Amino acid sequence: GVYSFEDSPFIMEILTELRDKNTDSIAFRKGLVKLGRYMGYELTKTMDVEEIEVETPLEKTRGILVKDRRNVVIITVLRAAIPLMEGLIKVFEHARVGIVSASRGKAPKFEIEMNYIKIPTVKPDDTVIVADPMIATGSTLIRVLKEVSKYGRPKRLIILGVLAAPEGISRIKEAFPEAEIFVAKVDRELNEKGYILPGLGDAGDRAFG
Ligand code: PRP
């Protein structure tokens, strides 16, 4: 399924700041870090937990352990996902991290080039979180997911983005039906250049110049 965080006022406020063309790259990067942290926190609500016993200085009581939080692999798609990953790591501090580069070619083919790929082994009880702020045509993620699938089959395959176009979501769902897509918001459409509308512009350029 596709999950958006439109009912979270705080996440929507951060998204609004990211959309604003007057937001500079310092605030833009900070906004992406915040979204990684808060969307990551929301993700923990969908994870398996284990009841454990804990001893306070006074007595024993019940507590919980979010087991899946310990078995996370974050895949960072350069460049724009770097600040998003930084935020995610605040929540998933045990995470192993894979880094891949994937850049889009020009319209109409949008062919994807992957020049750098470093991905850790994926184990059966892992939750893989592929972070990329923008899901436009979906070509980048489909290419990245093909690569990631060579490293093992995880318990859950999660895509974490900020904005997605409906076109990109349908293409990813078709190619990887098992993928769970979490985005702050699903936007209206793509323009002829493959940009999300209303969108926030080019996330990589806005974050890094
Ligand atoms: C952007 C974005 C995604 C991709 C989405 O990256 O961060 O990776 O485009 O487009 P798609 O869904 O149509 O494939 P870009 O190629 O601009 O690279 P950058 O982050 O390094 O600027």
- Taking only the tens place, the pLDDT of each residue in 142-183 is 999 999 999 999 999 999 999 999 999 999 999 999 999 999
Does the CB atom of residue 161 touch ligand 1 within 6 A?
A: no
Domain count, the chain: 1
Q: Is 134 in the pocket of ligand 1 (CB under 6 A)?
A: yes
Write down the pTM of the prediction.
0.95
Average pLDDT over residues 130-149: 96
pLDDT at 109 over 90: no
ipTM greater than cut 0.85: yes
The pLDDT value given to residue 107:
72
**Substitution site in 101, 115, 140 for ligand 1 pocket (most atoms within 8 Å of beta carbon):** 140
In CATH, what number is assigned to the domain containing residue 15? 3.40.50.2020
The pLDDT, as a whole number, for residue 108 is 74
Cα(134) to centroid(ligand 1), Å? 6
Q: Tell me phi and psi for residue 152, to 5 degrees.
A: 130, 160
- Give the residue among 192, 182, 187 at the shortest CA–CA distance from 161: 182
| Residue 74 binned pLDDT confidence (cut-offs 50, 70, 90) | very high
- Ligand 1, residue 103: give the atom nearest the CA: 16
Domain residues for the domain of 110 are: 2-208
